[in-house]
Structure 1
Amino acid sequence: MNNARLIQYFTGYYWSLQKEKKFIKEHFEQFLRKKADELNYTFSKADWKKTTVYYPCFTVLAGAENFILLKEKRKLNEEERYRLTAVSIMSGLCDDLIDEENWMPAQLFDLLDNRLESLPLSPKAKLILALNEALYKTHRPDIVYEKQLRTAIYWQARSLDQLNPAISTEEILQISKEKNGQTSLMFSYLLDEEWTEIEKEVIAQSGFLGQLVNDTYDIFKDIGSGVQTYLQRFESLVASEDFFVAEWRKLVTLIRESNASKQNKQHLVNRFACVHGYALVAFHQFRDLEQKYGRPVKWSEATRKELVIDMEKWPTRWQLLKAIKKLSTL
């Protein structure tokens, strides 16, 4: 992928971002503010941005708009965009119930099935109820989504096992693979498509890579919270990066084996490279940590400045461009 093509992909992502943000503003922001006022709940600035920007925009741009390239080229329709946005907002709130309010999968299932008698209905839980009611009144998802939703919730809750210092590396990798992979499949079932088995594998593998990217960027926060991720378990940073690249190659192989057109296959590889290239930026920043803190890295001794990736810096942005071009050729 040359520089001109790279600019083209970033420009495409930018305009898709503006379109999704406009859609959220028109269809969801007023609804959320009104419900929050009724529940006497105030979003923090960070929570509001996560709820109305990060979760839905990533779901649409890095997920659904890529998934549809596996089919005949087309754009998301209005109903698909509504379902994806609503469910991604609910997913963020469900994550908070699990991570912050210690909800179990069975409780979330009861919430979504409207069995409320024994549930601790916090404002966030009531927001989920309101969103779910609005979704089913106007843009009811297919039953296959409902089944996949329960699988995704189960694995999201299983991620709490990563707080156990005794968890094995194999368990960490399984949870990482299933948590985001099953969630990606859940979102794909909100599209008006029938997916082949190979297409499902592409979607799930892209979710796994997304989780690996997230783990590289959240390492400082994860260390402080006691969350165990693959970065802390591999014997070296080279081994961690090699593992990531091997999983990327698996994704590319699956894309090549799909029935998408040759042009769409290349578009999909390049678009995913724009998303997953961030991991290589993190590995580039971490490259000197072994010399300073030993091998394997004593992550708890590293500073925030060493572990947090600052994408506002131009050298880091240039590194991202190199990383994307590298991934697109693997």
Structure 2
Amino acid sequence: MPPLLAALETGQEESFGPSSVKRFNKYWQLALNVICNSFYDLVGKQLSAGEQQRILLLSIFGPLYDDLFDDNILSHEKIETFTLNPEDHEPGSFKEYVLRKIYLLLLEQAPCREKLLQHMHQVFTWQKASLKQMQPGIEEEELYQITYRKSYYSILLFHSILDHYPSEAISEMLFPMAGLMQLTNDAFDVYKDIQNGIYTIPNHYLDYERIQQKFLHDVAQFNRSLAGLPFIPKAKGNYGITIHALHAMGWMALEQLKENTRGTGDCRALNMLSRKELVCDMDNFPQKLRWVKKVKQLANHQ
């Protein structure tokens, strides 16, 4: 990653600091191993050098694109214009310069320019919609829709830069998978999101029994879709384990929240709980054992 960042920074007075590099690397590890490499293992293919380079580029692009919204770098109208017509955009900041440079490279190298543009605009649409999560009155149904679709189109965006785009059946399987991944992230970020005034399913609707019922429903839907795909059983089993390794952590975080918020009336009362009570610690050995068991349970859930 450092050589690529150095190339992207060429000619600019600014550069990315250690915290940005750490952020890019975390995004890249998830994209490479969980989204792209596991998909290719499932379908019996290997990532080419060109595909790996595009995954790395998009892993830098993603967090910077989020910053356009979160840091109010551009108006929503200008972000949409940039998303649809990056060639015409004149960067007004270092981040915009790097974003435009990466975007043009991806559009040049992607197997289908139009599919990449289509998914980028879908990412824009749901990224913009996610700003409603700053509103305490957001309805549960809309919150679920934003949570699942924002994650789903972000995953499809990565698939659009690969040489082999998923079939319709695989795309359908990816929807519950993506939603549960974002729900997992939200369950781990409850403390941080409360501090930042962001409303998510785990911190806004405290009926964890209901959340877990929906969670298991989507796990079963994912497992059924995976079982129906025309790939060798071992590959499907390995893929399921990889995906549920993340989902299982989400389940455990929800379990901890359910236990520690028992009797809590609303999301405002969560402010009274400590960080230790709200953040799921996965580092101790007993917790890791519970995690391994939960991965197996989810992989076999029907």
Common fold by TM > 0.5? yes
Q: What is the distance in 2 between the residues matched to 1:204 and 1:262?
A: 21
Q: CA RMSD in A?
A: 2.2
Q: Contact (CA 8 Å) 1:217, 1:308: kept in 2 or not?
A: yes
Q: Which amino acid aligns with 2:112?
A: D
Q: Is the 8 A contact 2:133 2:200 kept in 1?
A: yes
Q: 2:39 aligns to what SS in structure 1?
A: helix
- CA displacement 1:10-58 (0-9 Å, x = unmatched): xxxxxxxxxxxxxx3xxxx22323544743324343322011x111110
| Distance in 2 between residues matched to 1:56 and 1:280, nearest whole Å | 23
Q: Is the 8 A contact 2:264 2:270 kept in 1?
A: no
Unaligned runs of 5+ in 1: 1-23
Q: Distance between the aligned counterparts of 1:205 and 1:288, measured in 2?
A: 25
- CA offset at residue 156 of structure 1? 1.5
CA contact (8 A) 1:83 1:190 kept: yes
Pair 106,253 (structure 1): closer, same or farther in 2 beyond 3 Å: farther
Q: Secondary structure at the match of 2:30?
A: helix
CA 1:328 to 1:193, structure 2 compared with 1: closer, same or farther past 3 Å?
Answer: same
Partner of 2:21: 48
Q: Which residue of 1 aligns with 2:46?
A: 75
Q: 1:63–1:128: structure 2 CA closer, same or farther, 3 Å change rule?
A: same
Matches of 1:127 and 1:231, distance apart in 2: 34
Instruction: Please give the per-residue CA displacement for 1:265-310, whole angstroms capped at 9, x wherever unaligned.
Output: 222211211121111221232242134x535563222111111223
| CA distance in 2 between partners of 1:304 and 1:251 (Å) | 32
Q: One-letter code of the match for 1:207?
A: A
Residue correspondence of structure 1 range 293-312 to structure 2 within 5 A: 293-295=263-265, 298-312=269-283
Q: Does 1:317 align with 2:293?
A: no
Specify the alignment match of 1:256 in structure 2: 227
Identity of aligned residues (%): 22
Q: Which residue of 2 aligns with 1:20?
A: none
Q: Deviations over 1:178-210 (max 9, x none)?
A: 100111111112221243211111123221111
TM-score (norm 1): 0.82
Q: Mean alpha-carbon deviation: is it higher for 196-205 or for 31-40? A: 31-40
Is 1:173 the counterpart of 2:144? The answer is: yes
Segments of structure 2 that go 5 or more residues without pairing to the other structure are none
> How far off its partner does 1:172 sit?
0.4
Return closer, same or farther for 1:88/1:314 CA change in 2, 3 Å cut-off. Answer: same
Equivalent pairs counted in the alignment come to 297
Taking structure 2 as the reference length, the TM-score comes to 0.89
